[in-house]
Amino acid sequence: MLEIEKISFLSEQGKRANNEDSYGFIDDNIYVVCDGVGGNEKGEIASRIVTDTFLQFSKSQRDYPLPEALLFAEGNLSQYLEENPEAKGMATTLTVMQVLPKGINVGWVGDSRIYQFRNGEILFQTEDHSWVNEALKAGIITQQESINHPKSNIITRDVQGQFKPTVIETDSLTDIKKGDIFLLCSDGILESWSNEDFRALFKGESDLDKITLALDNKCKEFSRDNYTAIVVKIGDTDIVPVPRTYNTTYVEPKRSVLRYVALGLFLCLTLISVYFIWKGNTNTQNEGTKTSSTENQNKPLTSSVTIGSQIWQNRNLDVDRFRNGDSIPEVRTDAEWVAAGERGEPAWCYYNNSVKNGEIYGKLYNWYAVNDARGLAPKGWHIPTDKEWTTLTDYLGGDKVAAGKMILKGTAYWKSPNEGATNESGFSALPGGFRSTNNSFKSISENALFWSTTESNKSYAFGRDFYKDYIRGFNDDANYGDKSVGAYVRCLKD
């Protein structure tokens, strides 16, 4: 068990024209800070997309692997860039902290940081993906030279999208005690606060509201950039701390052999030429902008959307346990899938048994998983009935009209030409195909099948088939309505 006693946070524009930082959290589970890169290239949208994606994952699965969430975030960025080419060049840093019963997972990309403090000492600190840090490690510059270096705004790793995928650096922390304080922050905080400053602050103060006030006051005076911080204090925990040696300072290497320095310089410059990103440029966008400007045209970014009188999740369900904690069997082979259907047992799979497809489309479930009394939907949500599906499509103008209003624009996922798609409802249907009664996977990029909880008869159930220009209800079609078919699930708020 690991409890959170309190959190505090701030996010300010600083002396920039707008705020490209984004942050978000689901208390007791996930905390995210992102710093947008790109200025006129809409860095604030990149940071918001990535932040919302990580929060979205957390609402369906508390212990999801951080690299999988990053892959989905990169997909969301790519989708936005395809439809908004003027935003080419936008990117973001990322820091994420995932609180689990037996420890804390952290992940980071770029030069935003995560710290763990205990009695004022730095127990853990992430290592920047930046030109200055690479040069410091290579012996090209000294610790003193790294302070206020003119290239301090060049980062060597960021999140740009699937067209330029990156790697999230991760660590698992188990040396955790009651009273420990974690700080997630963008580099605007670091303009005003050194590690020595942090040690003094966190040694002399444990009230989080006073800590964030101190951070804010100093940044108002000295920081030019946007600055954002989330401060988290650990409460009761039964974790047995496992001490480890953390490298929280950079050690200046010996320079006795000049050729090693030259080699380090060469490698560093090569790295920069590949990953060069210039942060912090001035811009003239609207002040205070923190959220996506996509409005209702294309919203794979948040976990839910209001359509008429209903609130729907706008991402397919992707859980492998029932609400009571029981595991749902993953069934990969044709024979096992048939057997599960014949026995009326719950099962799930990914399209073509591909985890990559699962990251985009979620899981395919047979109807026996949908109707299981242990509950497939998360707490506070349910799987819609056939009548509730009808309420949705009627509100949007009927089956033929509603389709275009509910599927993603563009051809990143849907087969070309995908004309008429506006996704103005924000439902964001993806064409993940289905698993048929003869166990073949069919129609990815063309169709999206969703279950309802309404039974037609002993062998069939109701659902919806989304195609690019219509939505068709089904209940007794052997290709679709058979209870052993693998289809997707969308949840509706209770």
Q: Which of 92, 112, 98, 90 has the alpha carbon at shortest distance from 68?
A: 98
pLDDT of 134 higher than 70: yes
407: left (phi over 0), alpha (psi -120 to 50) or beta: beta
Q: What is the pLDDT of residue 48?
A: 93
pLDDT of 318 higher than 80: yes
Write the CA distances from 312 to 212, 304, 406, 410, integer angstroms.
35, 5, 12, 22
Classify the C-alpha dihedral 437-441-446-448 as positive or negative.
positive
Mean pLDDT of 356-360: 82
Better pLDDT: 379 or 491: 491
**Do 259 and 146 touch, CB atoms closer than 8 A?**
no
**Do 485 and 368 touch, CB atoms closer than 8 A?**
no
* 309: DSSP letter: T
Mean pLDDT of 279-294: 32
The overall average pLDDT reported for the chain is: 82
Q: What is the pLDDT of residue 284?
A: 31
Indicate the range of 212-221, 275-284, 285-294 predicted with least confidence: 285-294
pLDDT of 370 higher than 90: yes
pTM beyond cutoff 0.85: no
Tokens standing for residue 74: 């990169």
- State which amino acid sits at residue 77: L
Q: How confident is the model at residue 62 (pLDDT cuts 50, 70, 90)?
A: confident
Mean pLDDT of 261-277: 42
- List pLDDT tens digits, range 139-157: 888 888 887 787 877 898 9
pLDDT of 40 higher than 60: no
Rounded Cα distance between 133 and 119, Å, is 27
Rounded Cα distance between 43 and 36, Å, is 4
Q: Which of 36, 61, 23 has the alpha carbon at shortest distance from 327?
A: 61
Q: How confident is the model at residue 244 (pLDDT cuts 50, 70, 90)?
A: low
pLDDT of 291 higher than 50: no
Tokens standing for residue 143: 């610790």
Q: What is the pLDDT of residue 270?
A: 40
Mean pLDDT of 283-292: 31
Classify the C-alpha dihedral 120-126-130-134 as positive or negative.
positive
Indicate the range of 40-44, 94-98, 179-183 predicted with least confidence: 40-44
**Do 232 and 4 touch, CB atoms closer than 8 A?**
yes
Q: For the chain, what percent of residues have pLDDT higher than 90? A: 45
**Do 414 and 432 touch, CB atoms closer than 8 A?**
no
Q: What is the pLDDT of residue 439?
A: 67
pLDDT of 335 higher than 70: yes
All structural domains of the chain, each given as residue ranges with its CATH number in brackets, are 2-278 (3.60.40.10), 304-493 (no CATH)
Q: What is the pLDDT of residue 268?
A: 47
Q: How confident is the model at residue 475 (pLDDT cuts 50, 70, 90)?
A: low
pLDDT of 203 higher than 80: yes
- List pLDDT tens digits, range 436-471: 877 689 889 888 899 999 998 888 999 998 886 677
Mean pLDDT of 53-58: 86
Q: For the chain, what percent of residues have pLDDT higher than 70? A: 84
Rounded Cα distance between 48 and 69, Å, is 14
pLDDT of 304 higher than 80: no
Mean pLDDT of 18-24: 92
